[in-house]
Amino acid sequence: MRERRWETPGRLTFQEVLAVGERLAALGLKPAHPAKDVICYVEDWAVESPEAFDLLDHWATEDVTLVHIREAWKGDFFLLAGGYHTVYQRYQDVGTYCSISHPWRTKPGLRFHHPLSMFWLGFRHNHAFIRVRLHTRDVVTPGETREDAQRSEWIDERRAIFLDAIATLELPVETSVDNDNVVLRPSDPATPFFCSWPDAFGPCQFEYNTLDAYEFLVPASRLAATFAPQPAGVRAYLTGFSHPALEAFATVQPGARSVYRCSVHCALGELPEVLTTIEPHGRLYSTLCEFQTQDLMPEGADASAIIGIVGGGGGFQLEARLNRAPLAEEHMAGWLERLLGMSVVYAPLPPFL
């Protein structure tokens, strides 16, 4: 689900982060304390080799993914994806996952969506999938009504972009409108098909699955071609593979930058140690406090809120993520600043990480 997000603009010490936790506790909330076990999400941890991941052996980890990053890439997507698929076939097993992301471009002249979107071609055990995600110019979460006056325009534009992707991929998928939301359905109801990442107008993402591992190689290449001749940022995500498998993947068009992402189980008070381990480029995210906004503000609309900790660049920030804005837009930043005792800026998450 799309989220509204604000963050503190400057760097904080970890003691300042803990002080905000004490502030929230004084308001009757239940923030995590330093000894509490939490899940810490690590991203963009640059490594020289897969063995570097052993530096996190002090903690339990899961969802370990090695990401190959190619910036300003100008190549043949069919050959790149085919190379990853060839290696994947040698090492696939239950729990292994490989996907390659590439931007695609839809028609110009959009009001509510960016013309730049993203797709993922993926292989998971015994099937393949194509996932398509759109990027909106503004985040309007489910339940928010501030764009209702332009709802029909949002919906028409969303359907047109999805239809563009569906036609390029030649997928048997139908679009419609139900309860003022865009709806996507496969022509064959038995097809494994999933819609996700919803906002106030329907899903921003769909995923179509097939048992034919080769089915989407050519269609995905057509979608990638819509981005030409501009250089593309391309990522490959490799989950659940052994070190020998990762070494084999590294031979697919060598030269990619490698970073890790994973979940780390640790005590909240150990976050500075985790951050030191993944510096200088890695980032971490963890949750300080979760609550319903009406617990503090009965007069406002109810929203689910998370006060999170973001680590990177030698320090910490706080983020506030909500499934909807419980107050009018002009009052949101002020309310969050009073809650945290420090300034915040609106900072939606990037859509394609």
By mean pLDDT, which of 45-54, 81-90, 126-135, 158-167 is the weakest? Answer: 45-54
The answer on pLDDT for 53 being more than 90 is no
Distance CA 262, CA 53 (A): 10
Residue 34, classed as helix, strand or coil, is coil
pLDDT for residue 51: 81
pLDDT for residue 164: 97
Residue type (1 letter), 309: I
Spell out where the chain has E strands.
4-7, 37-46, 60-73, 97-105, 116-124, 127-133, 173-178, 181-186, 193-199, 202-210, 232-239, 257-267, 283-292, 304-312, 315-322, 345-346
Spans of all domains in the chain: 1-65+259-347, 75-230
**Mean pLDDT on 274-302:** 94
Residue located via tokens 């398509």: 132
pLDDT for residue 283: 96
pLDDT for residue 353: 61
CB-CB contact of 123 with 155 (8 Å): no
Enter the DSSP assignment of 331. Answer: H
Phi, psi of 297, rounded to the nearest 5 degrees = -140, 75
Residue type (1 letter), 349: L
Q: Which of 261, 289, 274 is nearest to 36 (CA)?
A: 289
pLDDT for residue 151: 97
pLDDT for residue 314: 85
- Residues pairing with 317 in the sheet: 310
Reported as a single tens digit per residue, the pLDDT across 214-258 is 999 999 999 999 999 999 999 999 999 999 999 999 999 999 999
At 299, the pLDDT band (50, 70, 90 cuts) reads confident
CB-CB contact of 96 with 88 (8 Å): yes
Q: Name the token pair of 88.
A: 């994947």
* Residue percentage of the chain with pLDDT more than 90: 91
Reported as a single tens digit per residue, the pLDDT across 7-26 is 999 999 999 999 999 999 99
Distance CA 334, CA 297 (A): 13
Q: pTM to 2 decimals? A: 0.94
Reported as a single tens digit per residue, the pLDDT across 158-212 is 999 999 999 999 999 999 999 999 999 999 999 999 999 999 999 999 999 999 9
Distance CA 40, CA 198 (A): 25
